[in-house]
Amino acid sequence: MEMGVSCSLARRLSICSSKPVKAWRAVFLILKLGPFDALEVGPAEIEKLWVRGGFPRSFLAATDDLSLEWRRTFIRTYLERDVPQFGSRIPAETLRRFWTMLANNQSQALNAANLAGGLGVSGKTVAGYLDLLVDLLLVRKLPPWHRNLGKRLVRSPKVYVRDSGIAHALLGIRDKESLLGHPVVGQTWESFIIETLITSAPDGTDAHYYRTTNGTEVDLVLTLPDGTVWAIEVKRSSAPKAERGFHSACADLDPAKRFLVYPGVERFPLDEFTDAIGVVALANELQSVK
């Protein structure tokens, strides 16, 4: 399995060649053309992909320690040597702290004031830091659903570190056992699933999250190119259950399809409208949309 994945990605990106690849070039090649994804590795290695992320040398490392070492080296090299080549004068340690704060606050609406206070800078400066990481394809901003439904909707975006393995390295999480006992386990699982599904969706798909000020929420709302809306909730539970808030949000959105993504592989109905489904199966369903 790993040999086939390694060779396929090596052919696409030449990441596994003997010639060194600068960190900034590696991230652009991988994130533009595609790191390992759920469809490549299959259901059996989803947990490994979540823990280590999609960078080839991280995913294919012989041990968890070697995988983490590669990611830490990448982060350090990227911040200290490669980011300045894009004209940034932000100190590497400041940008690392900001990136780490984002990793620690994934799946929450962005609170720029809190981030600014933690760094001792202005909100405008934080916005500049965030724009830089988004432009470098390291962070994703997921905008809130903005259509007027007569509801009071949250207006701030959510922010996710696009590669889950990098997020775990920033937070000092060594392996799956450490991750499962960490407070961010649900947040980083949500981030991993959302990134996987957005990248699997057909071109022209719009992605949002939906949240009202009273807490009614859907983790991911995909508007497909034909205007069809899918509502997707993410749970890190082997016995998933759609909460009342999800049903209330769906009553507002009236989606054509409703899914709850969980760590298992079996697909089964939770109610008349909602299916529990694994991420690989849902990614396949999205890719089959014409």
Give the residue extent of every domain in the chain: 2-287
Whether 153 shows a pLDDT value over 90: the answer reads no
Asked if 282 contacts 255 with a C-beta cutoff of 8 angstroms, the reply is: no
Rounded distance, CA 132 to CA 252, Å?
35
Task: Show the beta-strand stretches assigned E in the chain.
Answer: 139-142, 158-161, 206-211, 217-223, 229-234, 257-261, 268-269, 274-277
Single-letter amino acid code for the residue at 77: T
Query: What pLDDT score does 12 carry?
Result: 41
Indicate the angle between helix axes 23-33 and 64-77, nearest 10 degrees.
110
- Mark out the alpha helices in the chain (DSSP H runs): 2-13, 23-33, 38-41, 46-52, 56-59, 64-77, 92-104, 112-119, 123-135, 164-170, 176-180, 185-200, 244-253, 279-287
Indicate the angle between helix axes 92-104 and 64-77, nearest 10 degrees.
130
Rounded distance, CA 178 to CA 157, Å?
29
Among the listed residues 149, 160, 159, 189, the one whose alpha carbon sits nearest the alpha carbon of residue 173: 189
| Entry pTM | 0.87
Query: What pLDDT score does 215 carry?
Result: 80
Query: What pLDDT score does 131 carry?
Result: 93
> What would the pLDDT profile of 33-53 be if each residue is shown by its tens digit?
557 889 999 899 999 999 999
Which of 4-13, 121-130, 204-213, 251-260 shows the lowest per-residue confidence on average (mean pLDDT)?
4-13
Indicate the angle between helix axes 123-135 and 92-104, nearest 10 degrees.
90
pLDDT-based confidence at residue 132 (cuts at 50, 70, 90):
very high
Whether 280 shows a pLDDT value over 70: the answer reads yes
> What would the pLDDT profile of 77-102 be if each residue is shown by its tens digit?
989 988 888 777 889 999 999 999 99
Rounded distance, CA 77 to CA 89, Å?
15
